[in-house]
Chain A
Amino acid sequence: MTEGFAYTPNEMELEKASNGYLMSLIAVMAGMPLPIINLMATLFFYLGNRKSTWFVRWHCTQMLLSQLTVLIVNSIGFSWTLSVLWGSSILSNNYIAYMITIVLFNLAEFVVTIALAVKTRNGEHVRLWLWGALTDRICKQRTTEQHYFALPENHQ
């Protein structure tokens, strides 16, 4: 979902926001099969940019929320795999089906993240369904930032 942002971000902001998505991609590749690593990497990037501009923070937050969602399903899969390996659970159809489902979710998230990185770098403000709305609630414009940006007349 592409919509305009409250102000037009400059080149540096576009690059930083895009890097946030790229960072999570690299972390996903490095972190497998430990799902916590990609979340940690995204969290560190988010904390590193928490004093950045609203646009950068907004996209870092959106990335962090989508990573959190994947972390939850991946963590369940990870602990389930451990219990199968340690013998407290059996290798069942439910387990295999769950693993296929989380692989599909991870693949979808991977593709969407690449698309977000490219689109953001090209200056598009893409709001993900659900995660975009959640980000809007969490990531507000700081009062100290307001005098820097001229808001459009119709923006509430």
Chain B
Amino acid sequence: MGKITLQILVVVGIFLGIWFVFSQIDFVKMLHLNKISKRMEDKIGEVIMETIEKTNKIGKRDEGGEILDKIKERLCEGAAINKRDIHVHLVESSEINAFALPGNHLVVYTGLIKRCDSVSELCGVMAHEIGHLQLKHVMKRLAGKMGITVLASVVTNGNSEVVGNIIELLSSSAFERKQEAEADAFAVDCLHRAHINQEGFSNFMLKIAEIHSAVPEVMEWISSHPDSRKRAEEIRTLASKKGATKHTEVISEADWQELKDAAANLN
């Protein structure tokens, strides 16, 4: 039996050896696979945004879009990412919601802005969603729930049924608990580096949990982000570990008021 065992080990060794040798070649770079998947993600994002634009009103630059861009720029500085990589859209909807889409699109509903009492609350939610984008949660989740082949149908023929399912999935259901925790940690770090008060984020989580029990139908963001009270505590703990930092103004009070007005008037 010793001879056979040795022969089995030799066969397994040859197999693993060949595998190891081939794995030293960077096929992903050589075949430009990253660029292909990035192009696919961008195309899916474009198709989804086209669909949203057909059904909802989008805030133009003078309708709150420019101010939202200023907030995004500040958050991008904090996260050390290129501000042109993230595309933020103000979308008219009474739902209190914001969500990330493929192709680095970030949708903020007017209902969310109306419910935010301070810009730091909005910054917390936006930083959390940017976290999902930066940590590649969106495409991982879509590919996991729908499969690459179904997603490819969006790219090839703009499959409207799949687009509808993607919007439904990303706007109203939760990521995995681990991914939510990662996005929370990303948001806290981003807010800290951008010198934005992290308290706003945890306060918003607590506030929406309370509103949710009263008016659940408008609270899409909370239904897609469960355990808010517990997470608010975790956000506070993470923020305290980061240490004290001097908070600076994200946008002026006048800009914040203008954004709130734009959100109220966009219909």
Contact = CB atoms under 8 A, between A and B. Distances in A.
A73 B15 contact: yes
A85 B148 contact: yes
Interface residues of A, number: 23
Contact of B18 (A69, A84, A104, A134): A104
Interface stretch (A10-18, A19-27, A91-99): A91-99
A100 interface: yes
B143 A87 contact: yes
Contacts of A101: 15, 18-19, 22
Nearest to B3: A133
Interface residues of B, number: 31
Residues of A contacting B: mostly: helix
B149 interface: yes
A130 B33 contact: no
Contact of B7 (A73, A92, A129): A129
Contact of B19 (A92, A98, A134): A98
Contacts of A97: 19-25, 27
Interface in B23-44: 23-28, 33, 37
Nearest to A99: B22
A69 B140 CA distance: 33
Contacts of A137: 4
Given A87-B139, A97-B23, A101-B22, 20 more contacts: A84-B148, A86-B144, A86-B148, A87-B141, A87-B142, A87-B145, A91-B28, A92-B28, A93-B23, A93-B26, A96-B22, A96-B27, A97-B25, A98-B19, A98-B22, A101-B18, A130-B7, A130-B11, A133-B3, A133-B4
Interface of A: 69, 73, 84-88, 91-94, 96-98, 100-101, 104-105, 129-130, 133-134, 137
Interface of B: 3-4, 7-8, 10-11, 15, 18-28, 33, 37, 139-149
